[in-house]
Amino acid sequence: MNMQVSKNTVVTLDYNVTDPDGTVVDEGRDALIYLHGGYDDIFPKIEEALQDKKVGETVTVKLQPDDAFGEYDAELVQIEPRKDFPKELEVGMQFEGAPQGADEDEFVIYRVTDIADDKVVLDGNHPLAGTALVFTCTVTAVRPASEEEIEHGHVHGLDGDEHTCH
């Protein structure tokens, strides 16, 4: 039986992601496994392209920044005093914080992008914000989702009964 990708199926993909020039952004070392059907487990445009596909079928989806990680937002770049950070600090480290003027429960992951003298530059944009992406994937497995997976809106472990809620 060759199931089609449809609502409430668990889909396994082999994939890779490049920018429009063909530079690899994510080589997809691990298979991507998600619950199909509007559960926000995967970008909607990719989910749309995979609808009704069968095992072995390949799909290439071009994502504009709005379809992926959003446009680059200059307001999410902040310069903070160096003294506010741990002694061990390097470019690439991440900190959680609230953007200026945001509600207390709004958190953004900031990456350290520069350290100069007594200042630290933090960027709350996703590293791929503002980047168009080309997502190429091949369906390698499709199975019905369990009732619990549907109820929780995500996949539970490789065999479906292991509970991995976050």
Domain residues of the chain, as ranges? Answer: 9-68+130-152, 74-123
> What is the third-level CATH fold of 9-68+130-152?
Chitinase A; domain 3 (3.10.50)
Please, what is the average pLDDT of the chain? Answer: 90
Asked if residues 8 and 144 have their Cβ atoms less than 8 Å apart, the reply is yes
Q: Is 70 exposed, middle or buried (0-12, 13-18, 19+ CB in 10 A)?
A: middle
For residue 34, report the phi and psi dihedrals to the nearest 5 degrees. -145, 165
Tokens of residue 88, six digits: 């061990």
For the domain with range 74-123, which CATH number is right: 1.10.645.10, 2.40.10.330, 2.30.30.60, 3.30.1180.10?
Answer: 2.40.10.330
For residue 129, report the phi and psi dihedrals to the nearest 5 degrees. -60, 140
Please give the model's pTM, rounded to 2 decimal places. Answer: 0.78
The distance from CA 125 to its chain's CA centroid, rounded to whole angstroms, is: 13
Mean pLDDT calculated for residue range 38-51: 94
Mean pLDDT calculated for residue range 143-150: 95
Residues 81-137 have pLDDT tens digits of 999 999 899 999 999 887 766 666 778 899 999 999 899 999 999 999 999 999 999
